[in-house]
Amino acid sequence: MMAIRLNPDLVPDLLAAVQQSQQNMTTATQQLSTGKKVNQLSDDPAAVAQLVENHNQSSQDDQFLTNLSGLQGKFQVADSTMSNVVTVLTRAISLGTEGANGTLSTSDQQAIGAEVQGLLSQMVSLGNTTYQGTYIFAGTAVTTQPFAQDPNTLAVAYNGNSNTTSVQLSNGNSINSGVPGDQLFQNASGSVFGALQDLYNSLESGTGIDTAVTEVQDALNSISTQRVFYGNALNQISMSENFLNQDTVNLSSQENDLVGVDAATAASNLAQAQTAYESQLAATAKVLNLPNLLSFLQ
């Protein structure tokens, strides 16, 4: 029987096998050192394409979180301004009640009136509160000082507008970025400036103080109603923060699923590749040193 003649030159196949083991070892080392199983586009094109969307999403989330902390600062300033407004109005009510006491002399009433005038100008400056250089109660006319007081009539004019804007808290979730000043301070259900001005005038004239106090009370109620917006907004922001933080965790776990390598698997791959490489070398050395017929012809 005639055996099939094989390629007598074994070197190319042996070298190819050694090179293959070397390649496996390099791949395992690279995976271990980078912590990634995908290091080139061609390693897994679909995973890298998803990684693009993943990185985009996670970077957007980071941006939303930055935006939220800015908004939070602004809303906190607005909320504490509202709290000051409430304090001022409460003080005005107690001054008005005191002034309505029929035993007071006209000059005493006028002294109280002067204090109310002080409260009024304090209120104007609260209405002109700024955050990072812009007026927060001017609607969208953020560069215009919204409230100006006539020094003679003490009347307060609103120079802002009634527009509101919306800001995204996260993808598809928006919030109004504030309440315009006229809605807060000159609301139809109770104008803060109008009430204080009427209180001042009634104290000066000594008539209609009770009515004016009721007006201030209405203004206080109106402010309390409007103020709820800021409380809600701050809650919404902290909810969005929780959502975004969770989303970031999810995205990073997804990224790990897409391209990350399990350290234990990579280490065991490396050990396997090393063993294969060493046995490959041993086999090659042995085969290349095999004796041929000539070795036995002496």
Partner 1 sequence: MGSLSGALNITLSSMLAEEGAIETTSNNIANVNTPGYSRQRPVLEEAPPVLNGNLVFGTGVQLQQVESLRDSILDLRVNQETQQQGSLNSFLNSAQQIQSLFNETNGTGLQSDLTNFFNSLSQLSTNPSDLNLRQAVLTSAQNLASAFNQTSSALTTQQRNVDLSVTQTVSQINTLTQQIAAVNSQVSAATTSNQNPGPFVDQRQQLINQLSNLVDVSEINAGNGSLTLTTSSGAPLVVGGQSFALTTQTDPATALQDIDSQGTNITANITGGELAGQLQIRDQEIPSIQNSLDTLASSLANAVNTQHQAGFDLNGAPGGNFFVPPTGVAGAAASLAVAITDPTKIAASSDGTPGDNGNVNALLDLQNQNIVNGETPMNAYSNLVFQMGNDVQTAQTNQTAGSQVLSQLQNLQGGVSGVDINEESANLIRFQNAYTASAQVATTINTLLQTTIDMVQ
- The binding site for partner 1 (CB under 8 A) comprises 4-9, 12-13, 16, 34, 36, 38-46, 48-53, 55-56, 59-60, 62-64, 66-67, 70-71, 132-134, 138-143, 161, 163, 165-168, 171, 177, 259, 292-294, 297
> Comparing C-alpha atoms, which of 154, 135, 157, 131 is closest to residue 145?
135
Nearer to partner 1, 61 or 215 (CB): 61
CA 127/CA 147 separation, integer angstroms: 6
Q: Give whichever of 200 and 229 is closer to partner 1, judged by the CB atom.
A: 229
Least Å from the CB of residue 55 to partner 1: 5
- Minimal distance in Å, beta carbon 246 to partner 1? 19
Smallest separation (angstroms) from partner 1 to the CB of 171: 8
For residue 143 the two structure tokens come to 């560069």
- 93 contact partners, CB below 8 Å, separation of at least 6: 213, 216, 217, 220
Q: How far is the CB of 126 from partner 1 (least distance, A)?
A: 19
| Residue with Cβ nearer partner 1 (58 or 109) | 58
- 92 CB neighbour count, 10 Å cutoff: 26
166 vs 2: CA distance, rounded Å: 89
Of 89 and 179, which has the nearer Cβ to partner 1? 179
Paired sense of beta strands 134-135 and 130-131, if any:
antiparallel
Output 93 or 141, the one with its CB closest to partner 1.
Answer: 141
Question: How near is the Cβ of 280 to partner 1 at its closest, in Å?
Answer: 16
How many Cα atoms sit within 13 Å of 82 on the Cβ side? Answer: 26
Ramachandran assignment for 165, one of left (phi > 0), alpha (psi -120 to 50 degrees), beta (any other): beta
Shortest separation between residue 178's beta carbon and partner 1, angstroms: 9
Q: How far is the CB of 264 from partner 1 (least distance, A)?
A: 21
Q: Give the nearer residue to partner 1 in terms of CB position, either 94 or 245.
A: 245
Q: If residue 174 lies in a helix (H) or strand (E), which one and from where to where?
A: strand 173-176
What is the distance, to the nearest Å, from the Cα of residue 27 to the centroid of all Cα atoms in its chain? 40
- Cβ proximity of 215 and 174 under 8 Å: no
Q: Which of 249, 226, 205 is nearest to 65 (CA)?
A: 249
The smaller minimum CB distance to partner 1, of residues 78 and 259, is found at 259
